[in-house]
Structure 1
Amino acid sequence: MYSSMEETRGNVLFFVVAIISAMPSSSVSSLLEYPSFRSPVSNLTVAVGREAVLNCAVDNLSPYKVAWLKVDTQTILTIHNHVITKNNRIGVSNSERNIWHLHIKDVRESDQGWYMCQINTDPMKSQVGYLTVVVPPDILDYPTSTDMVVDEGSNVSLQCVAKGSPEPSIMWKREDGEKIRFQNGSEVPSTTGPILNITNVKRDHMGPYLCIATNGIPPSVSKRIKLVVQFAPSVYIQYQLIGAYDDQQVTLECFSQAFPKSINYWTKDTGEIIPHSNKFVPEIIEEGYKVTMKLRINILEPKDYGVYKCISKNSLGDMEGTINVYRIPNPNQYLHTNKKQQSEDNTPFDSNNYKYFDDVRKSRNDTSKRISLEETIDLQSYHSPNSAHHVSDINGFIHLFLISLVIIMQFTHQFPTHILMNIS
């Protein structure tokens, strides 16, 4: 009997050896070698909303199976080519017959964690890889500040809260490019931190501020917060005294600042509002809370001289400024008279005639007798002893010589046509 059993074992062993020897060498190697991982599962970082693909490479797998699991929940996701979970974002694929790919579409924050690639050997073989899900920053509507209206001189805190992975950092800057001013006098183009504190707010703090959240994952996001500072009107006048003359055009200027927006107008010292007309043309130029008020007065008349007021009013108060327009001599008439006099004074003459022309200039305002050289001149009357114009022989000779000289110069166009002489 014993010999019979030995004979049977020999026959079985021969059969197994025969089968193995008949199999291809690769199949024989598979049976004799145990499955092993070719490389570790690599960690992966994916932005939320994208697709994540984890890879697991296994050698000598047959006849075993590969499965994917979510470690923290102990959830079986896939086995071989089949998806086990009911999550329709999960998929599995195989390439090169020994690399198994776990697909997670439209990745969410909750997908972050450890994933296991497992081979159902005995004992079980496995390795894990970590999926990191990064999230671009997002600014929360609450408790982030909204647009604010405050009184000048009060204290303000602007707050900005954002979420994301990694945690976002917050930066503040002014949308208009102006620097952020603090009470200690410092000015910076930007500052960091979730809260922006401004103490003793001034009107130049007014404007839009940007809260910008970044965490290295594009895109960065920002929120616009408008800071409104309200204050009663203030008025500034550069020239409070303006000299003008008749028929001149004058423009008065007045600068005002106010918020809420002010009502601005001009009045005379009587308090009567000056309407738009051909004589008075008011103009208002607005730039934010700053206002330039202009009043053009055309063709000044005597009744137009006096005090003018620019008035600015809003719900917080009112303020006025005054400009006094006073009368001065017309410089154009003075210049015209002066040029005419200079023209006459610059008439060419001989050095021997200085005294004569000086006498002529002095005689312009004299009320004594004046004669024109164009009229007939009785030269003998200057020598007659009975004449009212009697002079000494020497003086008479000089007068006769000068008169003759003037007549000659007149005919040679070297002297003006009309000259008044004072004969003493």
Structure 2
Amino acid sequence: MKITGLSSLNRLNHANALLSQVLRDDFRQAPSDVVVAAGEPAVLECVPPRGHPEPTVSWKRNNARVSNKDDRISMRGGKLMISHTRKSDAGMYVCVGTNVVGERDSDPAELVVYERPVMMRRPVNQVVMEEETIDFLCEVHGDPAPTVRWRREQAELPRGRFEIRSDNSLRLTGVREEDEGTYTCMSENSVGKTEASAMLQVHVPPQIAIKPRDQNSAQGRNVTFRCGTRGNPSPAIFWKKEGSQMLLFPGQHFSQSGRYSVSMSGELSITDVHPEDSGYYICQAISVAGSVLTKALLEVEGGPSHRVPPIIRQGPANQTLALGSVAQFHCHAIGGPSLKIGWEKDGKKIVEDDPRMNLMENGTLQITNVEDMDSGMYTCVVSSATGESSWSGTLTMREDGAPGSSVPRVSESIQLPGPPQRPVVTEVTRGTVTLTWQSNPHEGGAAVTSYIIEAFSQSVGSVWQTVADRVKREKHTVIGLYPNTVYLFIVRAVNSYGLSDPSPISEPIRTQDGSPTEQGVDHRHVQRELGEVSVFLQKPVVLSPTSAQVSWTVSRQSQYVQGYRLLYRCTGSVWLVQDVKAGPELSTVLSDLRTDTEYEVKVLPYFNELQGLDSPLVLLRTPEEVLSAPPQAVSVVQLSNSSSIRVSWEPPSDDQSGIVLEYKVWCLGSDSEMKTESHINRTVDGAVLSILLTGLLPDLQYNVMVAAVTILGVGEHSPPIDLVLTLSLDMPSDPLQKDSSLSLSEQITGVVCQPAFIAGLGVAPWLALMGFSGWLYCRHRRRKELGHYTTSFAYTPAVGFAHIEGSGLSNGSRPGMLGSNMGNVTQNGKDSVNCCSGKLDSTDRYYNVAISNYLSQSEKYSSVSTDSPIYSTINTAAAEDLQGSNTPCTQGSNTPCTQGPDSYASTPVLSNFGFFGLVQDLDQWTIQSGQSVEYTKMQYARTSNGTGTNCTSHVL
């Protein structure tokens, strides 16, 4: 019974326990939606349902358990906290309550993570020109997409001229000066806002608000020119007189005795005006936005009617001289009695403290005994009350030391062309004048190659200026002149010898005034229109070595284009201008170009003084041609009383292009009565400027000409120079007799070029060579004869003789192995030994005597003794007799032999110095069979003095 009751109690307790474990369905606090900005903390709160035991809380995001391993995420007391939210944290979150009964899911709650607006591209400050279009950028990112607005600080946006584009940028069109200010881009969304600002600055080019007017004034009065300007930023104003380098700024007083001043408002005042104050005065306004100028003319009455600066008729010429020569620079001018002539060297005034320099009364500068330091540019400066003129020439020393003329070669007036006639005006515009003239019948020593035009304007400056050169025809249009300006013109002719005197001065010519259409025209609008015109040059077409056709295209036309200004220049030089009026033909021909020269060419549109943009540069190269001008300053000088002449010259004029490779010189002589011809043609290198011609015939008419040669051929030759050589009867026709004025190097050149001197130089080496060959032959012959004796001696069988005191040897006997029928070696005779001299020297004498003694002893003694040395004493007296005798010493001869040896002597048979040559031969002797090896070499014991020493000789 007890057991049964206990079991029932346990079952009852278990049932009660099951009944006490509960988890309700409804959450006491369900999570709610949360919206946060990225980077901010987010908190999701949740209170689970009631239950027993108390349920725990966990979270799911998008049906996936949320892990708390991320440091940013924490779960405490049913709260889910994310410390630094990210865009990836967004999603649907569910709170999960769990106990032993099970788990309950809450309704989902959404976590929304938004992004604040972020400026990806901010607006930047801008500086623009007036009437331009600009864009302020403002690129913004954010979530949700932010809204963008623009505002202008302290003002409204320009009405009708702004636009907020789809990319949120702000565009302003036709900006004006009043549009300057700060512009701000504002961006905002639900989680934040941001803004960025930029400044706009509008530059306005300077403009002339009050234009100065032309004025006429009497001498001694005061004159004021007003000049009002405007622009942004405010331009600076300054004045200058046309043709002068002096700038006049506000608030400063200047030279001219303080008569010039400029006020702070920009007014130019001139007090006590003088006639030289006449001219154009330019008011110029300048700023970072550009510049503009205007000018007004001042004419002062009461001055001289013709205030023309002096004119230099003939100026200094370029010269190349030798050291020690005399240089003369001429300077002849016209222009009134008050002319003053001064000289400068390399820009510095010449002071007459050097005794070698002399300024003559006629203005000529003479330098005697020129030196290297005298090289340079010499300028003649002629001044008067009306202005000044200058002319320069260079002096160069010959680098190679070649002789030069003692007096500089200055072209004679008869060789220069005559002055052209007075130029006449045929057409005048606001910037050009067309002149025509007639040439002078007198062309001088050579044909006229071109003309030079000079101009003077009192309004522009106080000097004559070259406005055109290398003019080929008697008609030319001078360009680049100022409008409403009076000009005077003169013309000079040019040939290979130099420039002519100036032509008479032309009548005063006033260029036209500005175009009537200029009045009332908005310069800013015209400048803007010209700036939009684009001009493109086409490839130039070369028509000839001196001309080319230039064409261009225009992408956008404008009604304000009056014409096109063509600018061209040799690379690195000043620009030349040629204006072409607007029309259907967009091309022109450039003439008077230099051959074999590269030009830069560009073109631009213009309207009066206003100009458009330059076209891109185009290169033009003219081809090379044969030189059309001959060498200059050709001169012929006869060497004193000789048949030689020196021809010298200068290179062709500078306007001739092409590299001179060489010069050809012709000296053509003929006599029609005698039917005699003598032609001498020579060619020299292009760097040589003189040549010596020899062998000319006297009393024969010669014509001398010189021409330069380029890669294309021979150019124009110089005018012929007539020459007839005359030789004085009272003086020898010796080319070595030179004029006292000739330099030493020139005299030496005359000697070297003579045929006799050249022939002597050719024969002398051959004579010396023949003499030397004869000497070698005699020497070789002597050695050959001595070699003959040595050979006979070498093949004599070796014998030896014992020395026996007191024994005497018969001088007439022939001992040894040689039989009586064998000929004596000495029968060859002494003359065979010394074939050339006829007299033996000491060495040869001793050598002959030694051989004779040896042969005599060989006949006396037998060949039994083979190891005894041979000793002999040479009798010098007998040697002398031997030398003087022509009869050989033979056995049985009636002539006594004087070569018998003494019984004993310490001197070797052969002398020490005589053996030196023999030892070398003995080394080559053949050893006959049966002979001892001991005799294969000869050994000698020598001392310094060669005497008193016993020598053992082993003889083969």
Find 2:110's aligned residue among 117, 130, 142. 130
Deviation of the 1:53 alpha carbon: 0.9
Deviation of the 1:42 alpha carbon: 1.5
**Residues 157-166 or 120-129, more deviating:** 120-129
Equivalence for 2:157: 180
Deviation of the 1:101 alpha carbon: 0.8
Amino acid at match of 2:97: I
Find 2:252's aligned residue among 257, 267, 277. 277
- Percent of aligned positions that are identical: 20
- Residue 179 of structure 1: SS of its match in structure 2? coil
2: CA distance, partners of 1:211 / 1:138 = 12
Unpaired segments of 5 or more residues in structure 2? 215-221, 299-956
Equivalence for 1:266: 238
Equivalence for 1:198: 172
2: CA distance, partners of 1:126 / 1:5 = 48
Amino acid at match of 1:15: N
Equivalence for 2:431: none
2: CA distance, partners of 1:178 / 1:324 = 46
Deviation of the 1:131 alpha carbon: 1.7
User: CA 1:268–1:18 in structure 2 vs 1: closer, same or farther (change >3 Å)?
Assistant: closer
- Residue 213 of structure 1: SS of its match in structure 2? strand
2: CA distance, partners of 1:321 / 1:205 = 29
Equivalence for 2:805: none
Equivalence for 1:368: none
User: CA 1:19–1:220 in structure 2 vs 1: closer, same or farther (change >3 Å)?
Assistant: closer
- Residue 74 of structure 2: SS of its match in structure 1? strand
Deviation of the 1:56 alpha carbon: 0.4
Deviation of the 1:315 alpha carbon: 7.4
Deviation of the 1:159 alpha carbon: 3.1
Q: Is the 8 A contact 1:262 1:312 kept in 2?
A: no
2: CA distance, partners of 1:317 / 1:296 = 21
Equivalence for 1:233: 206
CA RMSD across the alignment: 4.7
- Residue 46 of structure 2: SS of its match in structure 1? strand
1:106 aligns with 2:84: yes
Q: Deviations over 1:95-124 (max 9, x none)?
A: xxxxx1111012222222221111246464
Equivalence for 1:221: 195
Q: Whose helix proportion is higher, 1 or 2?
A: 1
Q: Is the 8 A contact 2:132 2:175 kept in 1?
A: yes
2: CA distance, partners of 1:238 / 1:263 = 15
Q: Whose strand proportion is higher, 1 or 2?
A: 1
Find 2:292's aligned residue among 319, 344, 347. 319
1: CA distance, partners of 2:212 / 2:164 = 41
1: CA distance, partners of 2:30 / 2:132 = 62
2: CA distance, partners of 1:223 / 1:68 = 46
1: CA distance, partners of 2:24 / 2:140 = 52
2: CA distance, partners of 1:17 / 1:134 = 54
Amino acid at match of 1:54: L
Amino acid at match of 2:152: R
1: CA distance, partners of 2:182 / 2:197 = 10
Equivalence for 2:147: 169
1: CA distance, partners of 2:175 / 2:230 = 19
Equivalence for 1:116: 94
Q: Is the 8 A contact 2:48 2:55 kept in 1?
A: no
Q: Number of paired residues?
A: 279
Equivalence for 2:76: 93
2: CA distance, partners of 1:115 / 1:101 = 12
Q: Deviations over 1:183-207 (max 9, x none)?
A: xxx378x968613233344444455
- Residue 236 of structure 1: SS of its match in structure 2? strand
Unpaired segments of 5 or more residues in structure 1? 21-27, 78-83, 95-99, 242-247, 284-293, 326-424
Find 1:42's aligned residue among 16, 32, 38. 32
Q: Is the 8 A contact 2:165 2:171 kept in 1?
A: no
- Residue 12 of structure 1: SS of its match in structure 2? helix
User: CA 1:110–1:125 in structure 2 vs 1: closer, same or farther (change >3 Å)?
Assistant: closer
Q: Deviations over 1:54-101 (max 9, x none)?
A: 100123243432111221xx4422xxxxxx33321101111xxxxx11
Amino acid at match of 2:252: S
2: CA distance, partners of 1:159 / 1:174 = 15
1:56 aligns with 2:69: no
- Residue 9 of structure 2: SS of its match in structure 1? helix
Deviation of the 1:240 alpha carbon: 7.8
- Residue 24 of structure 2: SS of its match in structure 1? coil
What's the TM-score once normalised by structure 2's chain length?
A: 0.25
2: CA distance, partners of 1:19 / 1:70 = 35
2: CA distance, partners of 1:19 / 1:196 = 77
Deviation of the 1:323 alpha carbon: 9.1
Equivalence for 1:69: 60
Amino acid at match of 2:238: W
2: CA distance, partners of 1:218 / 1:123 = 40
Amino acid at match of 1:70: R
1: CA distance, partners of 2:185 / 2:25 = 56
Deviation of the 1:12 alpha carbon: 2.8
Q: Is the 8 A contact 2:281 2:296 kept in 1?
A: yes
2: CA distance, partners of 1:170 / 1:263 = 39
2: CA distance, partners of 1:237 / 1:181 = 30
Deviation of the 1:163 alpha carbon: 1.0
2: CA distance, partners of 1:251 / 1:145 = 46
Deviation of the 1:318 alpha carbon: 2.7
Q: Is the 8 A contact 2:281 2:297 kept in 1?
A: yes
Deviation of the 1:213 alpha carbon: 1.4
Q: Is the 8 A contact 1:282 1:296 kept in 2?
A: yes
1: CA distance, partners of 2:113 / 2:23 = 38
Higher relative contact order (CA 8 A, sep 6+): 1
Amino acid at match of 1:265: I
Q: Is the 8 A contact 1:236 1:321 kept in 2?
A: no
Q: Deviations over 1:171-224 (max 9, x none)?
A: 12234x343225xxx378x96861323334444445543222122434422242
**Residues 301-310 or 150-159, more deviating:** 301-310
Equivalence for 2:8: 10
User: CA 1:153–1:221 in structure 2 vs 1: closer, same or farther (change >3 Å)?
Assistant: closer
Q: Deviations over 1:271-326 (max 9, x none)?
A: 7522443684655xxxxxxxxxx24789x95559999764223577531357999x
- Residue 85 of structure 1: SS of its match in structure 2? coil
Higher radius of gyration, 1 or 2: 2
Q: Is the 8 A contact 2:96 2:103 kept in 1?
A: no
Equivalence for 2:577: none
1: CA distance, partners of 2:97 / 2:158 = 65
User: CA 1:101–1:123 in structure 2 vs 1: closer, same or farther (change >3 Å)?
Assistant: closer
Q: Is the 8 A contact 2:188 2:194 kept in 1?
A: yes
Q: Deviations over 1:207-266 (max 9, x none)?
A: 543222122434422242x4555664323239989xxxxxx9x996733215xx686222
User: CA 1:32–1:52 in structure 2 vs 1: closer, same or farther (change >3 Å)?
Assistant: closer
Q: Is the 8 A contact 1:172 1:192 kept in 2?
A: no
1: CA distance, partners of 2:113 / 2:175 = 42
2: CA distance, partners of 1:125 / 1:60 = 13
1: CA distance, partners of 2:16 / 2:156 = 90
Amino acid at match of 1:67: S
Q: Is the 8 A contact 2:206 2:234 kept in 1?
A: yes
1: CA distance, partners of 2:64 / 2:15 = 43
Q: Is the 8 A contact 2:89 2:111 kept in 1?
A: yes
2: CA distance, partners of 1:204 / 1:214 = 29
Q: Deviations over 1:376-408 (max 9, x none)?
A: xxxxxxxxxxxxxxxxxxxxxxxxxxxxxxxxx
1:257 aligns with 2:231: yes
